[in-house]
Amino acid sequence: MSAAAPTIKFLQQPTSQAWVEQALANLDTILLDHSHCERKAAGVALNLMFRYPSSAELVKALTAIAKEELEHFEQVNHILEQRGIPLKALPAPPYGAGLRSQIRPQEPHRMLDSLLVSGLIEARSHERLGLLAAHLDDAQLAKFYRGLMASEARHYGAYWILATTYYPKDEVNARLAELAPIESELLSSLHPEPRIHS
Ligand SMILES: [Fe+2]
Ligand SMILES: [Fe+2]
């Protein structure tokens, strides 16, 4: 059964109610994992700028995203500090590596796949942060997640626009149609460790 979530372009399957229940029952771990997600999102944007330094549109869009993700990282870390949750490493769920394994190693495919994989991750983050906002009892935390949700929606839009800036729309749509089911499949059975992408 799926949780009550708006249909989000990009995502083939909505998040399950089981994930919402797992997240709410393990909020400290989810908050800590969320901090890791924001740092990784900033890192991915920076890495793409290092890989494609002369792609002006990409550099411009990803500079803005990297800055915003670092701001989110700082904000989540502030919440962790307020709640007495220490920063520490957490084993990553299979989701990220599973998606990255789909990135074809040769250009021009590599850039297209990298942009679409990032777009899918941002879209899923948007959906799941929205579910947290809708289900959290803590009004302040729910408000924080509603704010972040809007940013993540902009981010997946930006990755989509970049893909269609550098590749024909038919090619982008065709590759998205291959990657989106894989993204949903990676989340089809709930990972035992509570994570933003479990
Ligand atoms: Fe973010
Ligand atoms: Fe983001």
In the reported structure, the alpha carbon of residue 26 is separated from the centroid of ligand 2 by a whole-number distance in angstroms of 22
Residue 44 pLDDT exceeds 80? yes
Where do the structural domains in the chain lie, given as residue ranges? 26-87+107-186
Cis preceding linkage at 14, omega within 30:
no
Residue 96 pLDDT exceeds 50? yes
In the reported structure, the alpha carbon of residue 96 is separated from the centroid of ligand 1 by a whole-number distance in angstroms of 15
pLDDT of residue 152: 86
> Mean pLDDT in the chain?
94
Residue 75 pLDDT exceeds 50? yes
In this structure, which ligand is nearest to the CA of 37? 1
3-class SS of residue 2 = strand
Separation CA 96–CA 85 (nearest Å): 24
Residue 114 pLDDT exceeds 90? yes
Query: In sequence order, what are the residues at sequence separation of 6 or more whose Cβ sits closer than 8 angstroms to the Cβ of residue 16?
Result: 1, 2, 3, 187, 190
Structure tokens at 127: 């959906």
Q: Provide the 10 A C-beta neighbour count for residue 119.
A: 26
Q: What average pLDDT does this structure show over 177-188?
A: 96
Q: Checking phi first, is residue 57 left (phi over 0); if not, alpha (psi -120 to 50) or beta? A: alpha
How close are the terminal C-alpha atoms of the chain, in Å? 16
In the reported structure, the alpha carbon of residue 119 is separated from the centroid of ligand 2 by a whole-number distance in angstroms of 9
In the reported structure, the alpha carbon of residue 166 is separated from the centroid of ligand 1 by a whole-number distance in angstroms of 24
In the reported structure, the alpha carbon of residue 148 is separated from the centroid of ligand 1 by a whole-number distance in angstroms of 6
In the reported structure, the alpha carbon of residue 69 is separated from the centroid of ligand 1 by a whole-number distance in angstroms of 4
Exposure string (b/e) for 16-39, b if CB count within 10 Å is 16 or more?
A: beebbebbeebbebbbbbbbbbbb
In the reported structure, the alpha carbon of residue 22 is separated from the centroid of ligand 1 by a whole-number distance in angstroms of 21
In the reported structure, the alpha carbon of residue 101 is separated from the centroid of ligand 1 by a whole-number distance in angstroms of 22
In the reported structure, the alpha carbon of residue 126 is separated from the centroid of ligand 2 by a whole-number distance in angstroms of 8
Q: What average pLDDT does this structure show over 75-79?
A: 97
Architecture of domain 26-87+107-186: Up-down Bundle (1.20)
Cβ proximity of 66 and 45 under 8 Å: yes
